[in-house]
Structure 1
Amino acid sequence: MRITDYSLLALSSLKYSRLRTYLTALGIAVGIAAVVLLTALGGGAQHYMMGQFSQFGANIISVAPGKTTTAGISGAILSNVRPLTIEDAESLHRLPNIITSVPAIQGNLPIERGNRTRWTSVLGINHEVPDTWAMEVGQGRFLPNEPAEQARNFVVIGDTIRRELFPYTKPLGEFLRIGGERYRVIGVMKKKGQVLGLDMDDIVYIPVYRALSLYNRDSLMEIDLRYTEGYDEEQIINNIKQRLIERHGSEDFTITSQDDIIGTLGSILGILTAVVAGLGSISLFVGGVGIFTIMSIAVNERIKEIGLLRALGASRRQVTLLFLFEAAVLSGLGGIFGMLSGFGIAWLLHYVIPALPVNIQWDYVIMAEIIAIVTGMIAGLVPATRAAKMEPVDALRSE
């Protein structure tokens, strides 16, 4: 028998029992649709989180005060930890392959202009933020490159601050009061939106030395370093560690690379995606049970047909292959319908809820379809073997 013969016989048999065929294929379709939908949502979440991290730029290493221990206690709470200073940031800037160095400190302060007041995040940084965090100035300019202690009271504001405090006038050259001090607006950042839950448009930027004074602190929250792309990140981290140990006398700081964060996050989200795919695959098992049931019923109903095939010269192998092919076609068609349904539901959810990220994971989709076909063939193996073992005469005599 040729493959076309197997196909025609399998399709005609499935067409003869339409209701059972539809219900059995539905079990497989539900499983495939569940796998497609769940992995699409999981992959969308993973893609979204990676995109959020990449918005802060690339090739970034962060240094925070305090050594994180295995017990989960930060060394920052110990009295022998030296502050992370502006001088540390400047010293790290002089290391090989370090392009930018941004000392940073953040807090909330009242921002006043005339009779308008609002609390917002005030970030103390230096002039290298746009090159480090992949941000752009929309109007005016960013903070100038000035010695930290001589930095003037300049401020760069986010787009939300511009709209709320300067609704009818241009902000450049105007003054704001931040924490009781007077600052001149010299720039407005381009609209950036939410990044990891933080509204980047609702922030104002002032020189780091001024921020330390406003917050009455002597330690930075972190230092962000951007290094030359293509160089050995591990070697650069070792250079940073050695330099800070020389300055502090001990390793009282924590170094975190952007690649480490993205890699760890990607691994966690990848595991979650695999777990939800496994949960969806349970439906495939249910569909396999349905195929086993319908194939067993088909064998009982088609005993005379099996006897006639055997009497006409069909071998046991051919009869087995015929029933296995029916099971494969049944599960394959159910899988295709499930894939189309999963795609449709995923994109419909994304259309109705645009903020919901969707990213089709094709490796899981293809794997689920293969598993569906294999599951169907395994489920049909026992009935197919039983059909092949029937003697032609006994099969033809059956009622």
Structure 2
Amino acid sequence: MLIQDFLPFTASSIIAHRLRSLLTALGIAVGIAAVILLTSIGEGIHQFVLSEFTQFGSNLIGIAPGKATTHGGPSAGIISSVRPLSIEDAEALRRAPHVEYVDPSVQGNADLQAEGKSRRVTVYGVGHEMAQTFRMKVQAGSFLPPDDPRAARAFVVLGAKVKQELFGAVNPLGSRIRIGSERYRVIGVMEAKGQVLGFDLDDTVYIPVSRALELFNRAGLMEIHVTYHSNAPLDAVVEGIKKVLLARHGREDFTITPQQKMLEVMGSVLDVLTFAVGALGGISLLVGGVGILTIMTMAVTERTSEIGLLRSLGAKRSQILALFLGEAALLAAVGGAAGLALGVGLAQLLHVAFAALPVHTPWSYAALAEGVAVGIGLVAGVLPARRAAMMDPVEALRTE
């Protein structure tokens, strides 16, 4: 059998039994579509979560009070802190190597009153470099000035939603509002940022951190955020921060969390999740493989006389084997291509129907799924093809 005759001969046998071939390919198509749909959702969530974190930059480090330590015995992960983080700690970190911006922070909820209106909002006590630290922009006015950290003036910067609900189209700059029992003067309005992982950054106000400590009656900061120069080695930055705080605290009673490390761990977890979801959808491919095995076994039985004729005309056993393997692989490839189109189409329809659901088709998984489909077709066709190749041509010709 000539090579140029191989594909037409294989395709003709599939076309001759259209309904059977369609049902066989359908099993593979459903499996591929399930893989594509599930991995599209998994990859979409993966990219969404990482983009939510990286919008503030990847050269960000969080420092929290307390050190997680492991002790012997039945309990582990006990948190202990000799002293809380202070504004002075944050100021000292400005002298650490490679540090670019430092933002001491504390947050809580408080009642806000302005223009005869009242509402409860999230109040962030921050430093004057918060906007640079988190890459946020001021829409009108300015952000908090670099006052004495311990005696900052009563200024407030409004989130976009708070400004809209309290002042509407009126310019709020210079207005007085009351937060808790203190009066503040509005000096700025932030650009709309939207929600980040469920937190509405527009429904907030920003006040000096020292005043927030008094407002919430806290002894120390909730966290210190540090950004470092992008070309600086992370290990050196972390070591410099640790050295400054150890000199001030006398012991390591704080936890340093680089966002870069957190993103790496999170990315690995999400990769595993996406792969696991894809593998779950891949189980349906095995069902399609069983369908190919069944159909090819029937085809060998039905075409016994044809096999005998081919053998008597000089076809080698390897050619008969290749013929039936090619038919199985072609069925799987056609079903896989249909499944790819179906899966991508369903993923896009799902995204249109639920715009908030992040969907992204990973084409590496799509190519892998198609390859796996062809591989399953070949494996499923091995036994029937081998049976056909091992037939005695004389006995095969006698079969009607």
| Alignment TM-score > 0.5, same fold | yes
Q: Which residue of 2 aligns with 1:338?
A: 339
Shift of 1:54: 1.0
Residue 350 of structure 1 corresponds to 351
Residues 159-308 of structure 1 mapped to structure 2, 5 A cutoff? 159-308=160-309
What is the CA–CA distance in structure 2 between the aligned matches of 1:203 and 1:74, rounded to whole Å? 30
Q: State the match for 1:74 in structure 2.
A: 79
AA aligned opposite 2:7: S
TM-score w.r.t. length of structure 2:
0.97
- Cα displacement (A) at 1:5: 1.4
Query: Which runs of structure 2 are paired with 1:5-44 in the superposition (5 Å)?
Result: 5-44=5-44
Residues 89 and 223 of structure 1 are in contact (CA less than 8 Å); yes or no, is this contact kept in structure 2? yes
Is 1:93–1:101's contact at 8 Å kept on the other side of the alignment? yes
Structure 1 match to 2:151: 150
Shift of 1:6: 1.5
Cα distance, 1:112–1:2 mapped onto 2, change above 3 Å: farther
- 1:129 counterpart = 2:134: no
Letter in 1 for 2:30: V
State the one-letter code of the partner of 1:47: Q
Letter in 2 for 1:11: A
Question: After superposition, what is the alpha-carbon deviation per residue over 1:89-135, rounded to whole angstroms, capped at 9, x for unaligned?
Answer: 01011111100000000000000013211111100001101111010
Query: What SS does the aligned partner of 2:150 have?
Result: helix
Superposed CA RMSD in Å reads 1.0
Q: Is 1:55–1:195's contact at 8 Å kept on the other side of the alignment?
A: no
Question: Structure 2 counterpart of 1:152, which letter?
Answer: R
Q: Note if contact 1:75-1:253 (Cα within 8 Å) is conserved in structure 2.
A: no
Aligned to 2:394: 393
Partner of 2:53: 53
Instruction: For residue 69 of structure 2, give the secondary structure of its aligned residue in structure 1.
Output: coil
Task: For 1:2 and 1:377, locate their aligned partners in 2 and report how far apart those are by CA, in whole Å.
Answer: 21
Shift of 1:169: 1.6
The one-letter code matched in structure 2 to 1:207 is P
Q: Which moved more, 1:131-140 or 1:362-371?
A: 362-371
Residue 168 of structure 1: how far off its partner (Å): 4.2
**AA paired with 1:27?**
G
- CA distance in 1 between counterparts of 2:147 and 2:238 reads 27
1: CA distance, partners of 2:326 / 2:6:
7
Mapping of 1:308-323 within 5 angstroms? 308-323=309-324
Q: Any stretches of 5+ residues in structure 2 without a counterpart? A: 71-75
Size of the alignment, in residue pairs?
Answer: 395
- Is 1:369–2:374 an aligned residue pair? no
Between stretches 53-62 and 185-194, larger displacement belongs to 53-62
C-alpha distance in 2 between matches for 1:28 and 1:332: 9
Matched letter for residue 354 of structure 1:
A
Give the 5 Å matches for 1:82-161: 82-161=83-162
Q: Secondary structure at the match of 1:204?
A: strand
Superimposed CA distance per residue, residues 57-89 of structure 1 (whole angstroms, 9 cap, x where no aligned partner): 23011100011224233224xxxx212001100
Letter aligned with residue 77 of structure 2: G
SS for the counterpart of 1:120 is strand
CA contact (8 A) 2:115 2:167 kept: no
- 1:149 shift after superposition: 2.1
Query: TM-score normalised to the size of structure 1?
Result: 0.97
What CA distance in whole angstroms lies between the structure 2 residues aligned with 1:364 and 1:106?
42
Report deviation, 1:3: 3.6
Q: 1 CA distance for matches of 2:272 and 2:59?
A: 25
Once the two structures are superposed, residues 161-205 of structure 1 have per-residue CA deviations (whole angstroms, 9 ceiling, x without a partner) of 011110242111111100110000000000010011110101100
Residue type of the alignment partner of 1:5: D
Structure 1: distance between partners of 2:244 and 2:152: 26
- Taking the aligned partners of 2:298 and 2:163, their CA distance within structure 1 comes to 73
Q: Which amino acid aligns with 2:78?
A: I
2:4 corresponding residue in structure 1: 4
Residues 312-340 of structure 1 show CA distances to partners (whole Å, capped at 9, x for unaligned) of 11111111100000000000000000001
**CA-CA distance at 1:2 after TM superposition:** 3.7
**Is the partner of 2:314 in helix, strand or coil?**
coil
Q: State the alpha-carbon separation in 2 of the partners of residues 3 and 109 from structure 1.
A: 79
CA distance in 1, matches of 2:360, 2:3: 37
Identity %: 52
SS at 1:177 equivalent? strand
Q: Distance in 2 between matches of 1:292 and 1:7?
A: 20
Task: Name the amino acid aligned to 2:24.
Answer: T
Cα gap change, 1:168/1:374 in structure 2, threshold over 3 Å: closer, same or farther? closer
Post-superposition offset of 1:311: 1.1
Instruction: Structure 1: give runs of 5+ residues left out of the alignment.
Output: none
